[in-house]
């Protein structure tokens, strides 16, 4: 009678042999990618790309290292950082004057002064100087003339109110009220983050929706909004951080997952720059299975997939397949077929190895106990 461990080994190899043959055939037939550029879309997956399929630009016409193209006008999106600066900060004539601001009030034909008038009394009868709007909203003109409510009113209305109030005390006075410092309290300058809702905050002036706009359109929108608070605002706007336009480098882990790298796009990167951005190819990478996938602007159109000849780029300095990377592109680096096969095979056989190990361990333990019993009987 054969030992139990020999029976287990024979059963294991009967189960394992067809599995190994099937996995080897599957991996060798599907892991090597040497086909030309392929279009991926509904109904035409796997068909070679042609110029007509993606706007008349074939693989040979795609922008590359020595034939780069300029990107279209930049469109602002979250979370870009904009540099916004206003040329002037003068408030409009209709802007209200708030509590705590100082007004220059000058009045002619005030109460006459006598020769024996004390200096303090003379000052109370004279209106010619700076007067601050108090916390109660009133402009205090002194004990001789009283107070006038002027807070949150325009300069024109304040002038009328002060003039009407003084006419109750004086005869035909000449009144002049001016704002010596017409600057707004907050100056718009510096970096401004485009928030998730598509708006950019301007401090006390509120927010402006700029998502989906070009820089010129965003400038016009901001100037129109600030015109409510600033006299004829002139705005300078530029992009300080290009955070919304990115491309992706995806590396295959050979059956052990995929690594995705999100890299900001500046419009000048190539495939070589993108690989350098992730510190080179992974150790399991297949140099013959690298491609650039570019989404179609038309949702129903096919994607553009451009194969990359890594050895020609890195070893021969050939720029033909060193394509220019555009925002939204995906660069995929596939793993070596044998590494993928090894990982999948290890995952498949791991439970069998554990089961076989437990069987052998149990069989050895039983034989050891039986041997000890025979020795004791002898």
* Separation between Cα atoms, residue 327 and residue 334, nearest integer Å: 21
Q: What is the DSSP string of 37-63?
A: -EEBSTTTTTEEP-GGGGTT--GGGS-
pLDDT at 47: 38
The pLDDT score that the predictor gives to residue 85 is: 94
Q: Where are the domains of the chain?
A: 33-72+245-338, 81-91+184-241, 102-178
Lowest-pLDDT range, 7-21, 101-115, 250-264, 314-328? 7-21
Q: How confident is the model over 338-355, as a mean pLDDT?
A: 86
CATH number for domain 33-72+245-338, candidates 3.40.50.1100, 3.10.560.10, 1.10.760.10, 3.50.50.60: 3.10.560.10
What does pLDDT average to over the chain? 83
More confident: 262 or 113: 262
Higher-pLDDT residue of 301, 45: 301
In this prediction, residue 378 carries a pLDDT of 59
* Residue 118: pLDDT over 80: yes
pLDDT of residue 186: 85
pLDDT tens by residue, 129-184: 999 999 999 999 999 899 999 999 999 999 999 999 999 989 999 999 999 988 88
Mean pLDDT across 290-319: 86
Residue 242 is encoded by which pair of tokens? 């290009």
- What SS3 class is residue 88? coil
Same fold, 81-91+184-241 and 102-178: yes
Say what the pLDDT of residue 43 is.
Answer: 35
Range 342-349 average pLDDT = 87
**What pLDDT score does 39 carry?**
42
**Is it the case that residue 66 has pLDDT exceeding 80?**
yes
Tens digit of each residue's pLDDT (9 = 90 or more) over 220-242: 999 999 998 899 999 999 999 99
What CA–CA distance (Å, rounded) separates 307 from 38? 9
- Chain centroid to CA 326: 16
- 59 in helix, strand or coil? helix
Q: 81-91+184-241 has which fold?
A: wza like fold (3.30.1950)
Q: Are the C-beta atoms of residues 148 and 138 closer than 8 Å to each other?
A: yes
Question: 43 or 264: which carries more pLDDT confidence?
Answer: 264
pTM of the prediction? 0.68
> What is the structure's pLDDT at 12?
52
Query: What is the model's pLDDT at position 52?
Result: 37
Q: Over 60: is that where the pLDDT of 217 sits?
A: yes
Query: Is the domain defined by 102-178 classed in CATH 3.30.1950.10?
Result: yes
Dist. CA 281–CA 252, nearest whole Å: 10
pLDDT in tens, 15-62: 555 555 555 555 444 444 434 444 443 333 333 343 333 333 456 678
Using the structure block, give the residue that is written with the tokens 């006038």: 148
- Residue corresponding to tokens 């005869």: 171
Q: Which residue has the higher pLDDT, 332 or 186?
A: 332
| % of residues, the chain, pLDDT over 90 | 51
- In the block, residue with structure tokens 């300029």: 70
């Amino acid at each position: 009678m054969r030992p139990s461990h020999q029976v287990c080994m024979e059963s294991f190899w009967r189960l394992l042999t067809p599995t190994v043959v099937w996995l080897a055939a599957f991996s060798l037939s599907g892991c090597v990618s040497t086909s030309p550029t392929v279009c991926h879309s509904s109904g035409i997956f796997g068909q070679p790309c042609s110029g007509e399929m993606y706007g008349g630009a074939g693989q040979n016409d795609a922008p590359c290292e020595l034939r780069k193209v300029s990107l279209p006008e930049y469109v602002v999106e979250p979370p870009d950082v904009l540099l916004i600066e206003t040329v002037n900060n003068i408030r409009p004539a209709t802007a209200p004057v708030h509590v705590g601001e100082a007004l220059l009030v000058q009045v002619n034909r005030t109460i006459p002064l006598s020769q024996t008038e004390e200096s303090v009394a003379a000052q109370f009868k004279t209106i010619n100087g700076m007067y601050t709007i108090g916390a109660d909203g009133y402009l205090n003109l002194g004990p001789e003339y009283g107070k006038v409510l002027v807070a949150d009113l325009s300069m024109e209305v304040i002038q009328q109110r002060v003039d009407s109030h003084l006419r109750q005390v004086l005869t035909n006075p000449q009144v002049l009220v001016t704002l010596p410092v017409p600057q707004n309290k907050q100056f718009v300058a510096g970096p401004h983050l485009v928030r998730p809702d598509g708006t950019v905050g301007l401090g006390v002036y509120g927010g402006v929706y700029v998502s989906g706009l070009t820089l010129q359109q965003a400038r016009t929108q901001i100037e129109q909004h600030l015109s409510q608070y600033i006299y004829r605002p002139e705005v300078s706007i530029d992009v300080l951080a290009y955070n919304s336009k990115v491309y992706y480098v995806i590396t295959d882990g050979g059956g052990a997952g995929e690594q995705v790298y999100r890299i900001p796009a500046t419009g000048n990167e190539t495939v070589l720059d993108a690989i350098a951005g992730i510190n080179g190819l992974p150790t399991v990478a297949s140099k013959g299975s690298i491609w650039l996938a570019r989404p179609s602007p038309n949702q129903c159109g096919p994607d553009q997939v451009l194969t990359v000849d890594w050895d020609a780029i890195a070893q021969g300095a050939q720029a033909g397949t060193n394509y220019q990377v555009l925002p939204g592109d995906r660069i995929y680096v596939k793993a070596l077929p044998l590494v993928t096969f090894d990982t999948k095979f290890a995952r498949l056989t791991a439970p069998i190895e554990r089961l076989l190990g437990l069987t052998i361990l149990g069989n050895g333990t039983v034989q050891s106990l039986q041997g000890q019993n025979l020795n004791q009987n002898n």
